[in-house]
Amino acid sequence: MNRPFPTAGMPPIVANLSAHWGWLIARGIAAIVFGILAFVWPGFTVLTLAIVWGAYAIVDGAFAFLYGARGGGKRRWTYVVVGLIGVIAGLVAFFWPGETAVVLVMIIGFWALATGVFEILYAIQYRRAISHPWAVGISGLLSAAVGFVFVMFPGAGALSLIWVIAAYAVLYGILMIVAAIQLRRWRKEHLAAR
């Protein structure tokens, strides 16, 4: 029998986040799978990279959007915005994969930059309410840094950036999974204390 999660004496966002730790796991797994695919097939063409990244961005954006839309709290809008940006960027890359490498790199760059900024804001806003602000903050800094480099230097071409994209995706996925595991552990400890 599932017991209700105790919420007395804790911020509502903590109870809500810990109840939905699975969304972070799903986002982390999707990122790792994309990163591994990019490592396994380093001979990606720009077309293949656009299609695979587009599918990843749509899945990641959908998870982020659902997480933000289904949860309570006034500040969950950041996940809704990140989700919408991801889905739109993924659709653009997925349905127009024949664009030049520079356009693809710019799309990925703006998506990563926006995602990173929103994750940094989220980590700062909830630094006292969540047990994993460092993981979310580091993943946000990583996203923002990669996005900034891609936006500033898109002419390097997508093929030369595949390894960077793959490494970023794997590291980002690992950080999301670490954050989810910490939320799950925190939830279990509070349920056991009840």
Q: Residue 3's pLDDT is what?
A: 43
Q: Residue 4's pLDDT is what?
A: 45
Q: Residue 81's pLDDT is what?
A: 86
CA distances from 182 to 5, 103, 107 (A): 16, 37, 32
| Alpha carbon distance 119, 163 (integer Å) | 23
* pTM (two decimals): 0.57
C-alpha triplet 152, 158, 175: angle, nearest 5°? 80
CB-facing half-sphere around the CA of 150: CA atoms within 13 A: 29
Q: Residue 87's pLDDT is what?
A: 92
Exposed e or buried b for every residue in 166-183, given b needs 16+ CB within 10 A? bebbbbbbbbbbbbbbbb
Please say whether the dihedral angle defined by the alpha carbons of residues 38, 113, 31 and 132, taken in this order, is positive or negative: positive
Q: Residue 1's pLDDT is what?
A: 38
| Alpha carbon distance 55, 49 (integer Å) | 10
Sorted by where each starts, the structural domains of the chain and their CATH numbers stand as: 12-188 (1.25.40)
Entry field: residues in the chain: 194
Write out residues in the chain with pLDDT < 70, as ranges: 1-19, 42-46, 71-75, 98-101, 129-131, 155-161, 194
Q: Residue 13's pLDDT is what?
A: 58
For all residues of the chain together, what is the average pLDDT? 78
- Please choose, from the candidates 173, 123, 117, the residue with its C-alpha nearest in 3D space to the C-alpha of residue 147: 117
The token duo for 113 is: 């930059």
